[in-house]
Amino acid sequence: MADLRVNVAGVEFSNPLIAASGTFGFGREYNELYPVSALGGISCKGITLKERPGNPAPRIAESPAGMLNAVGLQNPGVEHFIKHDLPWLKEQNTKIIANIAGSCPEDYFEMAKRLDSTDIDMIELNISCPNVKSGGVQFGTTTKGVSEITSGVRKNTSKPLMVKLSPNVTDITEMALAAEANGADAVSLINTLTGMRIDINTRRPIIHNNTGGVSGPAVFPVAVRMVWQVANKVKIPVVGLGGIATWQDAVEMLLAGATALQIGTALFTDPYAPIKITEGLSNYMDKNGIKSVSEITGGIKPW
pLDDT tens, residue by residue, 129-187: 877 676 667 899 999 999 999 999 999 999 999 999 999 999 999 999 999 999 999 99
pLDDT confidence bin for 214, thresholds 50/70/90: very high
With beta carbons less than 8 A apart as the criterion, state whether 196 and 205 touch.
yes
Q: Which residues of 135-168 are buried (b: 16+ CB within 10 A; e: fewer)?
A: eeebbbbbbebbbbbbbbbbebbebbbbbbbbbb
Residues annotated as part of the active site:
129
> What is the pLDDT averaged over residues 6-24?
97
Domain 6-295: CATH superfamily is Aldolase class I (3.20.20.70)
* Average pLDDT score over the chain: 96
